[in-house]
Amino acid sequence: MNFRKIYLLLLIIILSSLSCGKDPVFTEMSTNRLTIRLKGTFETGGVSNFASMDSQGVNASPFQDDSVDEVTAGTNDVKPTTLMLDIAEIRLSGKKISNYRQVLEIPIGDNTHPFFNGEGIELKTDDPGDGYYDSVQFYIRKMVFDNAKVYQSTGSGFVYEKDSTVIFHENTRNGLDVNQLMVNSYWDSLRLEQSEIIRVFPMVIPIVGGMTYNRENDETVLEIRLVIKNFIKKYEYDYYEDGVYKVCHYYGPSDWLRDVRAGETDIGRNLHGVARSYVEGQTGSISVSPGAGNRYVVAIPSTDDISEYGISATGVSLRTTVGNSDLPLPPSYPGAYIDAVLDYYLKYEKYKNDWNTKATGLTVDLYEAAWDTYEDEVHGDKSYGLKIPPYIGFSSSGASVFFPDMTPGSYKFYYCEYNPATTTNYGKLFLVSEFIILNSGNPVNIIAGTNAGF
Amino acid sequence: MRKHLTVLSVFLLCVSLCSELSAASSRKKYFSKPQIGLWYGPITPLFETNEHLDPNLGGGGFFRYNLPYAPLKIGLESSYQYYDSEGVAEMRLIPVYTNLLWLIPIDLPIRFQLKAGAGLCKVRVEPDDINQWDPMFMAGTEISFPAGKIANIALRLDYLCVYEEHLKGATQNGHFFNAGISLYFNLNL
């Protein structure tokens, strides 16, 4: 080997350094250009205008779900006051952008809290690479509503025993983790991997309109909304402890989409979410006058069909379409009380008769087809579940609705009649037929830096 | 018993060092040969880079050749360095550089070398999905002793600067410290 070869190699390395990279990666690492904001309202900005949970009776429908059948008048039941979220991870179109453990304790009744006042809680994240992303995978490790109560059977009835407790953020807290129950009744329980299925781990949330991330932009905002405020119901969870039959009254998202029936412990994938994205400083706005009355105004990309944002019939109606494949559930064994056990055997005979009646002529193929049809109705596009419109505002008594920070593009506008004072509206979203087109069906172009209106 | 063993160990070490001193001239000869070796040890980000990345273990290889001026050698080095972070960010570095090594002319059984060099560093960052080459500089020291006629053992301490301040919008460079135990061999080229 001679020295000239080595000098030549050195020269090549120095010369090739002239064609180095263009991205200041170490500066980028200390810069956060993606902001994720988490909100708990149906509305895009501002507080919830749904029928208020505060005005609901704790033991009355619709706040108490019709699946509560063992203890219909819980003597110690009180409404939840705190929502606890343990967020494990966030991904964008499958790409991991945050694995920071983020634990949130949100006072449900506080409308000034960022989770409920339209601002959003900022979540810690790293920046993704440049590219287009169409979904968020939101890994919720635990989701706990407090004030869960346990009642135990006495043979002739139920008495309050204790508050239900759960380990949350390494501490024992009062409440019940509803994540473990967010599976689809009859469906997930038949799978081999049933013990591993939780529909919110991850919860797949569509980014309506997509998100194009470019690190040239100083700040890109990704807003995630979970429909929680004024969308909570009381459920009942049946179990045995030391041979004693017990029920736990707990709280979870409304079963408006996937109806939970009496005796069922799974509450389905009833947590609804949507995400939208915009680049700070590159947004437009619009003022919409939807007409007289109390109305929700929604905007969706003009390329979307409104049928993606609602269901054709109520969740209860859709459940009935399952027909004979929706087989009855066996009664719960009441524990070591002779009168109750005798009742149980009577109920069990009735259950067997009902089951045999329904199952007559039922085959595995028919069963599968019926639940497939149901799933298609409630599943939504690309496993998202129900799609929530990206822009939602409320017009009280005909007032105009203002949408700031809209991503430039073409949008269609709709309204839905909604009276927050109507108690029966509690815990409900909208059917496709309730969306009424605005602006004569003409899409509106939102242009950055300008304010549109109609 | 333990105390006796300690005293015996110190004694044997002293004897060993004395015998090494008498062999200083032959070691000098070994140093004048081309060498190839490997290193492995802790790698850690420094200064502001330390705020975003965690320390790890890394390793690399090198080749050194003599120059006409005996106390100097020229080296070509490369390594693989992976840094994780508290979040999802992760960085992979492959520095490739040449350096000049100067043997401090003190005739001790343990040899001290100073080194400085420059080259390029392949930088790959996830999830930003950035993959590029950056210029880099290094400086360091090495403390070595022969382990037989063909092998040498060394402790190496290197500082690496991945230079980016020439880029538009850059306010920071990458700073890293590599410590390692290296084993390298004298070649009869």
Residue of B nearest to A28 (CA): B170
- Contact list in B for residue A11 (CB cut-off 8 A) is none
Residue B18 pLDDT exceeds 50: no
Give me the pLDDT at residue B67, please: 82
What distance in Å separates the CA atoms of residue A307 and residue A282, rounded to the nearest whole number?
Answer: 29
What distance in Å separates the CA atoms of residue B147 and residue A297, rounded to the nearest whole number?
Answer: 81
What distance in Å separates the CA atoms of residue A103 and residue A86, rounded to the nearest whole number?
Answer: 5
- pLDDT tier, B146 (very low <50, low <70, confident <90, very high otherwise): confident
Average confidence (pLDDT) over A214-235? 93
Whether A323 and A370 have beta carbons less than 8 Å apart is answered as: yes
Residue A167 pLDDT exceeds 70: yes
- pLDDT tier, B8 (very low <50, low <70, confident <90, very high otherwise): very low
Select from A51, A19, A408 the least CA-distant residue to A210.
A408
ipTM computed for the complex: 0.77
Residues 3-32 of B with CB under 8 A from A: none
Average confidence (pLDDT) over A418-427? 88
Give me the pLDDT at residue A193, please: 55
* Record: contact B172-A27, CB cut-off 8 A: yes
Average confidence (pLDDT) over A75-87? 94
> Which percentage of chain A shows pLDDT scores above 70?
91
List the single range of A52-66, A344-358, B12-26 with lowest mean pLDDT: B12-26
At A329-386, the pLDDT tens digits run 888 887 777 877 888 899 899 999 999 998 888 898 898 888 888 888 876 655 667 7
Higher pLDDT: B27 or B69? It is: B69
What distance in Å separates the CA atoms of residue A450 and residue B82, rounded to the nearest whole number?
Answer: 47
At A136-157, the pLDDT tens digits run 999 999 999 999 999 998 878 8
Residue B26 pLDDT exceeds 60: no
Higher pLDDT: B142 or B186? It is: B142
- Contact list in A for residue B119 (CB cut-off 8 A) is 13, 17
Average confidence (pLDDT) over A94-109? 92
Q: How many other CB atoms are there within 10 angstroms of residue A433's CB atom? A: 13
Residue A78 pLDDT exceeds 70: yes
Q: Does B133 touch chain A (CB under 8 A)?
A: yes
What distance in Å separates the CA atoms of residue A227 and residue A273, rounded to the nearest whole number?
Answer: 6
What distance in Å separates the CA atoms of residue B182 and residue B59, rounded to the nearest whole number?
Answer: 9
List the single range of A76-85, A267-276, B157-166 with lowest mean pLDDT: A267-276
Identify the sign of the CA torsion A156, A159, A161, A167: positive
At A309-332, the pLDDT tens digits run 888 888 888 888 888 888 888 888
Residue A76 pLDDT exceeds 80: yes
Higher pLDDT: B59 or A194? It is: B59
Q: B136 is written with which tokens? A: 């880099």
Residue B20 pLDDT exceeds 50: no
What distance in Å separates the CA atoms of residue A220 and residue A37, rounded to the nearest whole number?
Answer: 11
Residues 97-116 of B with CB under 8 A from A: 97-98
Residue of A nearest to B74 (CA): A6
CA neighbours closer than 13 Å in the CB half-sphere of residue A12: 8
Q: What angle (nearest 5°) sits at the alpha carbon of residue A202, between those of residues A42 and A135?
A: 65
> Which percentage of chain A shows pLDDT scores above 90?
48
For the entire predicted model, the pTM comes to 0.83
Q: Does B76 touch chain A (CB under 8 A)?
A: yes
**Residue at token pair 């000049």:** B100
Identify the sign of the CA torsion A169, A172, A175, A177: positive
- pLDDT tier, A23 (very low <50, low <70, confident <90, very high otherwise): confident
- Contact list in A for residue B171 (CB cut-off 8 A) is 24, 27
Q: What angle (nearest 5°) sits at the alpha carbon of residue A383, between those of residues A279 and A138?
A: 50
State which amino acid sits at residue A414: Y
Higher pLDDT: B93 or A12? It is: B93
Structural domain boundaries of chain A? Answer: 34-280
At A250-306, the pLDDT tens digits run 999 999 988 888 888 778 778 899 999 999 999 999 999 988 889 999 999 999 999
Highest mean predicted confidence (pLDDT) among A428-442, B9-23, B101-115: A428-442
Average confidence (pLDDT) over A237-258? 89
State which amino acid sits at residue A101: R
Select from A382, A203, A205, A225 the least CA-distant residue to A298.
A225
Average pLDDT, chain A: 87
Average pLDDT, chain B: 83
Give me the pLDDT at residue B121, please: 93
Residue A4 pLDDT exceeds 70: no
Cα A403 to the center of its chain, rounded Å: 23
CA distance A96 to chain B (A): 7
List the single range of A133-137, A392-396, B25-29, B63-67 with lowest mean pLDDT: B25-29
Residue A131 pLDDT exceeds 80: yes
Q: Does B41 touch chain A (CB under 8 A)?
A: no
Residue of A nearest to B170 (CA): A24
The three-state (H, E, C) secondary structure of A388-445, written as one string: CCCEEEEECCCCCEEEEEECCEEEEEEEEECCCCCHHHCCCCCEHHHCEECHHHCCEE
Residue A244 pLDDT exceeds 50: yes
**Residue at token pair 């080749």:** B63
What distance in Å separates the CA atoms of residue A102 and residue A104, rounded to the nearest whole number?
Answer: 6
Q: How far is the CA of A93 from the CAs of A315, A366, B96, B182, in angstroms?
A: 29, 35, 35, 43
Q: Give residues with Cβ within 8 angstroms of A452, minimum separation 6.
A: A284, A285, A286, A287, A444, A445, A446
Residue A18 pLDDT exceeds 80: no
What distance in Å separates the CA atoms of residue A449 and residue A452, rounded to the nearest whole number?
Answer: 10
What distance in Å separates the CA atoms of residue A103 and residue A173, rounded to the nearest whole number?
Answer: 14
- pLDDT tier, B24 (very low <50, low <70, confident <90, very high otherwise): very low
What distance in Å separates the CA atoms of residue B145 and residue B160, rounded to the nearest whole number?
Answer: 24
Average confidence (pLDDT) over A38-62? 91
Domains of chain B in start order, with CATH, are 2-186 (2.40.160.20)
Whether B40 and B64 have beta carbons less than 8 Å apart is answered as: no
* Record: contact A26-B96, CB cut-off 8 A: no
Select from A316, A332, A280 the least CA-distant residue to A448.
A280
CA distance A89 to chain B (A): 10
Give me the pLDDT at residue A14, please: 56
- pLDDT tier, B16 (very low <50, low <70, confident <90, very high otherwise): very low
What distance in Å separates the CA atoms of residue A288 and residue B65, rounded to the nearest whole number?
Answer: 77
Give me the pLDDT at residue B17, please: 41
Higher pLDDT: A47 or B28? It is: A47
Q: B159 is written with which tokens? A: 């500082």
Cα A272 to the center of its chain, rounded Å: 3
What distance in Å separates the CA atoms of residue B185 and residue B183, rounded to the nearest whole number?
Answer: 7
Helix (H) or strand (E) holding B111: strand B111-126
Residues 10-69 of A with CB under 8 A from B: 10, 13-14, 16-17, 19-30
Torsion of CA A146, A262, A373, A316, to 10 degrees: -80
- Contact list in B for residue A17 (CB cut-off 8 A) is 119-120, 133, 135
Best mutation site among A9, A16, A29, A132 for testing chain B: the one with the most B CBs within 10 Å?
A29
The three-state (H, E, C) secondary structure of B157-181, written as one string: EEEEEECCCCCCCCCCCEEEEEEEE
State which amino acid sits at residue B17: L
What distance in Å separates the CA atoms of residue A22 and residue A18, rounded to the nearest whole number?
Answer: 11
Residue B23 pLDDT exceeds 60: no
Higher pLDDT: A23 or B30? It is: A23
Residue B169 pLDDT exceeds 90: no
User: What's the length of chain B?
Assistant: 189
Select from A231, A188, A212, A293 the least CA-distant residue to A430.
A231
